[in-house]
Amino acid sequence: MLLGHEWRIRIFLKGRAMRQTGLFLLLLAAPLNSFADNVLDQLDDDIVITASRMPISPSKMTSFAEVITDLGDHALPQLSLGQQMDGIGGVSFTNNGVRGAQSGLQLGGLSSTYNKVYLDGFNLADPSGTQEVANTSFIAPRSIQRAEILNGSQGPLYGSSAIAGVVNFFSAQIPDQGFYGESYASYGSYNTFNAGQSFGARSDMVGFAGSFDSYDSDGFSSIQENNEDDGVEINNASIKFSLTPTSRIKLGANAIYREADVDYDGTFPSVNSSGLQTSEIKGVRTSTELVLVEEQDYALTFIGEAQSLYFERKEDFGDYDGDRKQAGGHLRFDYEQGFSLLGFDYERVSSTESSTKNSYDIRGFFAEQLLELSTGTSISGGIRRDDHATYGTHGTYQLGMAQEIFENFVVKANYATGFRAPSNYELYGSFGAGNKNLKPETSRGYDLGVAGKLASHLSYSLRGYRTTITDRIGYNNTSFKYQQIEGNSKVWGAEVALKASMGSYSIAQTYNYAYGTEPTSATDSSSRVIAGVPRHSGKTTATYQGQNFLLQATGLFHAETVQYANTTKPQLDDFVTMNLNGSYQLTEHATIEASVINLFDSDYVTAHGNGFEYQQPGLSGNIGLRIKF
């Protein structure tokens, strides 16, 4: 995994006309020379990086994981990255209207508070919010070359908030050798313009890669009760460098930058009032990989890294800043039967609201062991101890096993504990809302399932899980203060995935079931169904890949999503929506693309406010051009 050093990038032309003109000229001027084929093969589809902070084969993993390598190629400009991942790998997604609005990527039947989301190694959880949640609707879908979804609690390696799982996105990657590049531009409904470029190259010792993306749309009204469109402007950029002076030393550096302006509807939805949120993210990261010992049967490697990620958000009601600084390292001893890992990390999280700055520190020590036995059995174990500056120490652990019953059929089982540390706002919130006496939420959970392949045409997986969360943190509407809530939150669920291919045709089907209960409130210990997560959801993707063209249809459904903000309507409407996309290769390097969003113009929502619901895009479309070189 590439890590980074600071690069502040301001490469975007100001003003819509100038930016569109500049990016189109860049697209048309892109060189068409072919330098290298298959330059992205350094990340095999069957290798997972997120599971152990190093590449590992799924056959050795005890956790369930999903690897996606075609998000960028099939991206739909009108939809955010999270919307396009909805239904895959146990993911469900909520979005407050237009792309760029507040959103949540949900795993394991739990809200987005209980998972961690990374982009090129950066933890995207915003420290300036009431809870630390990653807003994936800002990420440029076309720039993502790879995504990894790791299901189940990953506390021993990833610490706080990794109760439901970890999602890791990778933008433009440094190739093994040679050079590659891609430019794209599209125009569509809601006066939406999207353009960008990704590239990468490597020589014997030096490699680099980068991407930038500009998205500009007049948008639509996020709330049905008014007709004022909510415009969006988002610019993203990333850059990566690597230096390999010897076969035993690897140095890495990367940076990300994002700026966005998003209109949002006002507090009173029936009135055509609106607000503007401007935000900025800039991050820098560095890494060092040293092979200390390397023999035929074993190797000892040290990997160290440091990063800083800054968040800035300005709204009508105030300005909010957040800063996340992290550093750490680990020793990994690889041998024929598996590996042993021992490491440490440090994190300082700060937030500023109305000139008041609050922060907390967490120091963690962790260890992981994986044994692969000759009987086709893999056994994993992990342990972690964290020292929080406010509430003290806390420990987590994980045990897992994977057993190959016969070729291409594996049974997996895991048990893990986890925790979620209180956010800065929950600890120190303004007007007395914060509570310095809060302890972390704790969890315990297990999953059991199977995964396998039939010949080379059909792959499948089935996973069942249960998670229990204790000492949940909630807001007391009587005392106007955050406090621990008595009782347990419990979630049961199942995830099914099937993929089949035959010649030019392929089809993928997923189904997710999630049902959970939680204490009603800080003053009511009775149980209620967990809101905001669909009990039933799934996705169907049918693809035809011809010699020069591709056709793809995607159907998504959500059913039985409970809500409480609007007491007159305790459940969101069930929905089915369908998207179409296709492409035709004009020349060796140029491809024309088109897509239709919400083919049947379904009126559907995935999130609600206090007495209103947030709309999603209606029937819309776009057409574009992509050039690869």
Strand partners, 502: 505
Q: Are 221 and 228 in contact (CB under 8 A)?
A: yes
Please say if the pLDDT value at position 68 is more than 80.
Answer: yes
Q: What pLDDT score does 47 carry? A: 64
pLDDT bin (cut points 50, 70, 90) of residue 270 is low
Quick one: what percent of the chain has pLDDT higher than 90?
Answer: 65
Give the separation between CA 628 and CA 54, rounded to whole angstroms: 30
Give the separation between CA 213 and CA 142, rounded to whole angstroms: 8
Q: What pLDDT score does 13 carry? A: 37
Please say if the pLDDT value at position 269 is more than 70.
Answer: no
pLDDT bin (cut points 50, 70, 90) of residue 244 is very high
| Helix residue ranges per DSSP H, 175-292 | none
Mean pLDDT along residues 78-84: 89
Please say if the pLDDT value at position 14 is more than 80.
Answer: no
The rounded Cα 284 to chain-centroid distance in angstroms is: 19
- Taken in order 351, 279, 477, 356, is the CA torsion positive or negative? positive
E-only strand ranges, 355-480: 356-372, 377-388, 392-406, 409-420, 441-454, 458-476
Give the separation between CA 111 and CA 186, rounded to whole angstroms: 33
Q: For 313-367, what is each residue's pLDDT tens digit?
A: 988 778 889 999 999 999 999 998 899 999 999 999 999 877 788 899 999 999 9
Query: Helix, strand, or coil here: 157?
Result: helix
Q: What pLDDT score does 46 carry? A: 58
Give the separation between CA 488 and CA 472, rounded to whole angstroms: 8
pLDDT bin (cut points 50, 70, 90) of residue 60 is confident
pLDDT bin (cut points 50, 70, 90) of residue 35 is very low
Q: Which two tokens stand for residue 96?
A: 């407050």
Q: For 173-201, what is each residue's pLDDT tens digit?
A: 999 889 999 999 999 999 999 999 999 99
Which contacts of 368-376 are long-range, i.e. CB under 8 A and separated by 24 or more positions?
368/52, 368/156, 368/157, 368/340, 368/341, 369/338, 369/339, 369/340, 369/341, 370/52, 370/56, 370/60, 370/338, 370/339, 370/340, 371/337, 371/338, 372/60, 372/337, 372/338, 373/337, 376/403, 376/404, 376/405
Domain count, the chain: 1
Q: What pLDDT score does 58 carry? A: 72
Residue 142: phi and psi, rounded to 5, are: -70, -20
First-to-last C-alpha distance (Å) of the chain: 24
Give the separation between CA 231 and CA 135, rounded to whole angstroms: 18
Q: Residue 230 falls within a domain, yes or no? A: no
CATH number, position 71: 2.40.170.20
Q: Are 110 and 533 in contact (CB under 8 A)?
A: yes
Q: For 226-241, what is each residue's pLDDT tens digit?
A: 778 889 999 999 999 9
The candidate with the shortest Cα–Cα distance to 140, out of 245, 4, 61, 237, is 237
- Domain with 96, as residue range(s), is 16-225+242-315+328-628
Please say if the pLDDT value at position 212 is more than 90.
Answer: yes
Mean pLDDT along residues 71-75: 83
Q: Are 385 and 393 in contact (CB under 8 A)?
A: yes
Q: Are 128 and 313 in contact (CB under 8 A)?
A: yes
Q: What pLDDT score does 272 carry? A: 53
pTM value > 0.85: yes
Lowest-pLDDT range, 22-36, 358-372, 563-577, 607-621? 22-36
Q: What pLDDT score does 455 carry? A: 81
Q: What pLDDT score does 102 carry? A: 86
Q: What pLDDT score does 375 carry? A: 83
Q: Residue 9 falls within a domain, yes or no? A: no
Q: For 280-300, what is each residue's pLDDT tens digit?
A: 999 999 999 999 999 999 999
Mean pLDDT along residues 91-115: 91
The rounded Cα 24 to chain-centroid distance in angstroms is: 29
Mean pLDDT along residues 546-552: 94
Cα diameter, the chain: 71
Q: Which two tokens stand for residue 490?
A: 């419990």
More confident residue, 629 or 199: 199
Q: Residue 298 falls within a domain, yes or no? A: yes
- Within 8 A by CB and 6+ apart from 198, the residues are 72, 143, 145, 171, 172, 181, 182, 209, 210, 211
Q: Residue 231 falls within a domain, yes or no? A: no
Give the separation between CA 327 and CA 349, rounded to whole angstroms: 12
Q: What pLDDT score does 587 carry? A: 95
Q: Residue 415 falls within a domain, yes or no? A: yes
Query: Helix, strand, or coil here: 503?
Result: coil
Strands 441-454 and 274-294: unpaired
The candidate with the shortest Cα–Cα distance to 211, out of 242, 251, 245, 254, is 254
Which of 367-376, 518-527, 566-575 is modeled with the greatest confidence? 367-376
More confident residue, 372 or 273: 372
Please say if the pLDDT value at position 129 is more than 60.
Answer: yes
Lowest-pLDDT range, 113-117, 435-439, 483-487, 562-566? 562-566
Mean pLDDT along residues 553-582: 89
